[in-house]
Every structure is written in C-alpha cells, then in structure tokens.
Amino acid sequence: MNLSESGKQLIKKYEGCILQAYLCPAKVWTIGYGNTYHSNGTPVKEGDKITKAQADEYFEVIVKKYVTTVNELVKAPINANQHAALTSLCYNIGPANFNKSSVLRLVNLNPSDSTIKDAFMMWNKGGGKVLKGLTSRRQAEWLLFSSK
C-alpha cells in the first residue's frame, strides 16, 4: 500500500520543516521533516543546511523506508487511513521501535481493537519526558487510524 496524501501531510505537520540541523529532544542531529539522515544515507551533523526543495526531496525518498516497514510488518487487513497513521508512528519512533510496539501487536491481532488508542498514546515521550507535541501527534494519528 502507498502512503496517502493525508498521511504525508500528517507527518509533515508534526515534524515541521527546519532547514538547518538541530538537536531533537532525543539529542540526535535532525534536518528537514525530522530526518536524521540525508537522502544519500549520510548522517545529519551540526552545521548542515538544506533548501526547502531538498527537504521535500528527502522526505519523499526517506518516507518510503517507513511505508515499506509498515507494509512488511502489518499482517492484518487495514485501510488507507490506518496505514497512514501507522506510517506516521513508524516515521516518528523508528522501525525497530515500531516492530516491538504494542500498537503493531494489537493491530495484527485485531485492527478494530479500541485499546490500540492506549498503545498509540504510550509513544508520547522524547528524552524520557512527556512532550505536548507528541501527545497531540498521537491523538491525531489515532483519529486518522479510527476514521474510515
């Protein structure tokens, strides 16, 4: 399944677009739409700068990795909104965390399980602290996931 435009917009909204390298709450150098790597695979480092066009290009290249991860790990039938919400979560927490998450486990057992909301909401911390932005993002992801 491909990522819907609403999924792309959700990710971009919550990641924001910053054209100069910055340290994210987890203390990792980040650029563009929350990317820790350039589109060629080299890590972002202090002092790196990109253009808006490069940020958009990086996003399109890098988001495919997360789409592939979701497509490979989700075994239950899901709709496009569920796919978009799960891809947004995976993009934010990384494939390794997504793979071991209770969100994925619950979705694969029953995508209609209402406790999936609580599983999404567990992923609202950065650097060990609850972050308002992550709480808002998880709520938005859940709303998209639970919509038809």
Catalytic residue among 15, 57, 60, 141: 15
Instruction: Reply yes or no on whether 5 is catalytic.
Output: no
Cβ neighbours of 13 (radius 10 Å): 14
CB 46 within 8 A of CB 21: yes
Task: Tell me the one-letter amino acid at 124.
Answer: N
Per DSSP, the chain holds a count of helices (H) and strands (E) of 7, 4
DSSP assignment string, 98-128: HHT-HHHHHHHH-TT-TTHHHHHHT--EETT
Closest CA to 128 of 25, 45, 9: 25
User: Would you state the structure tokens that stand for residue 107, as one six-digit string?
Assistant: 């979705």
Give catalytic residues, as residue numbers.
Answer: 15
